[in-house]
Structure 1
Amino acid sequence: MTAPGERNASSTYDVRVWAVTRVVGKRATTYRLRWEVGLRRHSRSFSTRALADSTRSELVGASRRGEAFDRESGLPQSRVARERSITWWAWSLTYVDLKWSALAPISRRSLAEALIDVTLQSSGSFPGRPDTAELRRAMYQWAYHAQRRASGPPTAEIGAAVRWLERASPALASFDDASNMRAILAALARRQDGAPAAATTVARKRAVLHNALELAVEHRRLPSNPLSRVSWKGPRVDDMLDARSVVNPDQARALLAAVADQGPRGQRLTAFFALMYYAALRPSEATAVTLDDLDLPVRGWGELHLARSDAEVSGRWSDSGQRSSRHLKHRARGHVRVVPLPPPLVAHLRAHVAEFHIRPGERLFRGVYGGTVNAATYTNVWRRAREAALSPAEQASPLARRPYDLRHTAVSTWLAAGVDSAQVAAWAGHSVAVLHRVYAHVVSGRSDVARSRIEAMLDE
């Protein structure tokens, strides 16, 4: 029954707000806010205490100002009106603008790909729907590209698709419905052809959605993140190294020789693959190495001072519109990773510098015609090298299937040789936690060596 002075049966002034409580779960600690509107109880969970306290302050403040609360949502009428006034489409564009400047080009592309899937699923079957390929093109080329959108309205070719997306987009508040959220998550778990998506792809897209909704909470567009209230498990990400992909020294030498045997194109890439095998570089890091980064003595160990990465992604996602180098993956701008270069690698690099007349400041690796080495080129060279150097059974196995497996081989070699995990992680350019997770079987395999060393010390 509505109390005197209340507007209608859907709202009330009878509000009680309790203190925030800390909830320790198996996966994470959350902060729960509980309050009562009329005789109906409401609760929300937040990832941080600050968000929970902020929402509590808003509820208490609205109650003290004499504002009516909506019985259904448990929120002040002013907030209900604000949340219902913004659509997912409008918020997703705002989200892109908020994130754009801090993202690397490849992350910008990943952000757009995730938002496209969410938008297509949430828009449903609104009348007049254009072709899906046209909708994707409109979002990929304009809507979810902050610079393109800021430069002017969409072209005539995609204008109709953009207008349909504006009309078809549901209210952001509709994401609070668990069934809607489950449908969106299911869409993220599928590829465009309907086949199951890779586990890493699903995890990456879910992370984008979670962050978009988390920022919506921060900007007071949602009371809490609805994704945190949906019990849904995507495909499990198995990032542990497959030991079958690691090559032994004889196989590595044979593969490098097979690369060199492919004429000018292969000869220009022999030292490229050697950097991955001996120094655990990522392909994007090897392409960015210049002569100035190297210390190559005539004898003994050398050293690499790595400060850049050159991930291959279309220039459309960079600020300059061209492909360019950036700071190292998962590292602050300006960070330099120092990597030791064993004598065999020093010999490869010195020979490469001499043969191709690399001068100070120049990149080590260029195409036959002087251009940047791209993934298609070095992947094709590696495929041919496997065919020449490996037996049919080995070719059918995961053994060195990707050039990236040479990096895995280098890290595994360092660990098997007894190098401290922290040192290996520093050389490889990732955290100790990631090292132990990805190379768990290599780390555990060192237990016998560790016990022998401890026993020897005790005997002394």
Structure 2
Amino acid sequence: MSVSKTPNGRFRARLKSGRVNVASKVFDTKREATAWLARERAALVGGVDPRAGKERVRDAVQRWLLIRSTTVAQKTYRADQDVERLTTASVLNLHLSAVSGREVARVFEHLLASGLVESSVVRYRASLSSFFGWCVREKLIATNPVTAVPVPKSSEERTEMNPFTEDELETAYRAWREQNARLADILLILGWTGLRWGEARAMTVGDVMEVPAPGLIVRRSAPEGIATKATKSGRSRRVPIANRVLPIVERLKVGKKPGDLLFTTEAGSRLHRSAVLRTMRWERTGKGRRIHDLRHTAACLWLARGVDVSTVQSWMGHASIATTNLYLHHLGTGADLAGLERLNRAPGATGGPSAGRTGE
């Protein structure tokens, strides 16, 4: 490990592995040269060759996308392609080892300033973090520069969840049955079980449990366009089958073997989102909602019926209770209802100080 002064007054740090010169860099101060050398040696000892970090970000992204094209869902891969499309040219041309949190933050700021909504930047950040995480695993760099850099908060209004109320779900169900009774039954089940679309497509008859209580075991997901894979969380979970939809589930099982798909078209084929939405005339019957809002509907139905938040978290498969609490913010709490009841009481009806002054 050595730092030497150059004829022009700067300091050159040289990193060696045995007798082999691995890397060198010139700095304005000896302190900077020494710090860089210490970091590079630590990385080298940890198995990261600084020479690997000389690869351009653009080239590494293309190699990463080639791998992702066969290892993740089609929807995820489409999001991953934004890494190459949205990352600024100045960052794509950098060496991997030269990308710091500062460059990452500037990319986020640039995307927001150009009009990209915050939720899209958050998705881009997830893909960018996956890319640099892959670089770390491949020993191209020592640390992921995205990890400690959040997306700046946007002041624009966010697209909120738009679940059906129980009455609205029943009204929609009657409208769906006019289009296709079988698909209407399936959509109603989604509104009571909180299954994601991919999870519903992968559900088999053998996943229906009868003891100790009716329920569905969510073990896998079948996103459209790729093979069946694990659930989003990577873990299985159990969701209840309420009495409202239990007879429907039982009908869908009739004549099928345990390994057969539970939710299918009348012809027995696997469901496809675009075909279902077209058949159900979703643009009209969904009242501006997404099909994913059926999952939000289930969570709100459970909470409105008095199921505790931790149980709803388990049924939904949320990793964090904070995600489940979003539904409480949407519904309001018991304290909100009690407060509204007080506001709506007639003057003096509370028994407070004003009650005894009616004759004044």
User: Given the alignment, which residue of 261, 267, 278 partners 1:380?
Assistant: 278
1:311-330 → structure 2 map (5 Å cutoff): 311-312=223-224, 314=225, 323-330=226-233
Is 2:318 the counterpart of 1:430?
yes
Contact 1:6 1:12 in 2 (8 A): yes
Query: What is the alpha-carbon distance in structure 1 between the residues aligned to residue 133 and residue 104 of structure 2?
Result: 14
Corresponding position of 1:75: none
* Deviation (angstroms), 1:341: 0.7
Query: What is the alpha-carbon distance in structure 2 between the residues aligned to residue 282 and residue 229 of structure 1?
Result: 30
Query: What is the alpha-carbon distance in structure 2 between the residues aligned to residue 225 and residue 431 of structure 1?
Result: 23
1:237-386 → structure 2 map (5 Å cutoff): 241-242=160-161, 245-262=162-179, 266-295=180-209, 302-312=214-224, 314=225, 323-332=226-235, 335=236, 337-354=237-254, 357-384=255-282
Query: What is the alpha-carbon distance in structure 1 between the residues aligned to residue 130 and residue 250 of structure 2?
Result: 47
Contact 1:268 1:365 in 2 (8 A): no
* Deviation (angstroms), 1:204: 1.5
Matched residue type, 2:234: R
CA deviations 1:94-116 (Å, max 9, x no partner) are: 54578778644543332233233
Corresponding position of 2:108: 185
CA distance 1:419–1:238, change in 2 (3 Å): farther
Is 2:5 the counterpart of 1:9?
no
Corresponding position of 2:329: 441
Is 2:298 the counterpart of 1:414?
no
User: Given the alignment, which residue of 63, 77, 85 partners 1:116?
Assistant: 85
Matched residue type, 2:263: F
1:16-415 → structure 2 map (5 Å cutoff): 39=29, 42=32, 55=39, 57-58=41-42, 82=51, 85-96=54-65, 103-118=72-87, 121-122=88-89, 169-172=93-96, 175=99, 184-185=107-108, 188-189=111-112, 196-213=115-132, 216=135, 233=152, 235=154, 241-242=160-161, 245-262=162-179, 266-295=180-209, 302-312=214-224, 314=225, 323-332=226-235, 335=236, 337-354=237-254, 357-384=255-282, 387=284, 395=287, 401-415=289-303
CA distance 1:387–1:203, change in 2 (3 Å): closer
Contact 1:241 1:438 in 2 (8 A): no
Query: What is the alpha-carbon distance in structure 2 between the residues aligned to residue 182 and residue 448 of structure 1?
Result: 39
* Deviation (angstroms), 1:436: 3.7
* Deviation (angstroms), 1:269: 0.8
Question: Structure 1 stretches of 5 or more lacking a match?
Answer: 16-35, 46-51, 62-77, 125-167, 315-322, 452-460
The 3-state SS of whatever aligns with 2:238 is strand
Query: What is the alpha-carbon distance in structure 1 between the residues aligned to residue 150 and residue 176 of structure 2?
Result: 49
CA deviations 1:173-219 (Å, max 9, x no partner) are: 664596x65664356558xxxx8334222112123324434665777
Query: What is the alpha-carbon distance in structure 1 between the residues aligned to residue 228 and residue 44 of structure 2?
Result: 50
CA distance 1:229–1:433, change in 2 (3 Å): closer
The number of equivalent residue pairs is: 324
Query: What is the alpha-carbon distance in structure 2 between the residues aligned to residue 8 and residue 38 of structure 1?
Result: 12
Question: Structure 2 stretches of 5 or more lacking a match?
Answer: 15-25, 340-360
The 3-state SS of whatever aligns with 2:202 is coil
CA deviations 1:215-266 (Å, max 9, x no partner) are: 6577775687666798972646977854xx332333212211211211xxx2
The 3-state SS of whatever aligns with 2:240 is strand
Query: What is the alpha-carbon distance in structure 2 between the residues aligned to residue 226 and residue 53 of structure 1?
Result: 19
Q: Percent identity?
A: 20
* Deviation (angstroms), 1:411: 0.6
CA deviations 1:112-153 (Å, max 9, x no partner) are: 3323332xx3179xxxxxxxxxxxxxxxxxxxxxxxxxxxxx
* Deviation (angstroms), 1:340: 1.2
Query: What is the alpha-carbon distance in structure 1 between the residues aligned to residue 38 and residue 186 of structure 2?
Result: 53
Matched residue type, 2:122: A
The 3-state SS of whatever aligns with 1:406 is helix
Matched residue type, 1:255: A
Matched residue type, 1:256: Y
Instruction: Note the aligned Cα RMSD (angstroms).
Output: 4.7
* Deviation (angstroms), 1:409: 1.6
CA deviations 1:312-371 (Å, max 9, x no partner) are: 2x3xxxxxxxx3221111124xx3x211111120112223444xx444321123335543
Query: What is the alpha-carbon distance in structure 1 between the residues aligned to residue 338 and residue 37 of structure 2?
Result: 49
Matched residue type, 1:55: R
CA distance 1:276–1:94, change in 2 (3 Å): same
CA distance 1:228–1:422, change in 2 (3 Å): closer
The 3-state SS of whatever aligns with 1:273 is helix
Matched residue type, 2:232: K
Matched residue type, 1:205: Y
Corresponding position of 1:150: none
Matched residue type, 1:378: V
Query: What is the alpha-carbon distance in structure 1 between the residues aligned to residue 71 and residue 37 of structure 2?
Result: 28
Contact 1:436 1:443 in 2 (8 A): no
* Deviation (angstroms), 1:279: 1.1
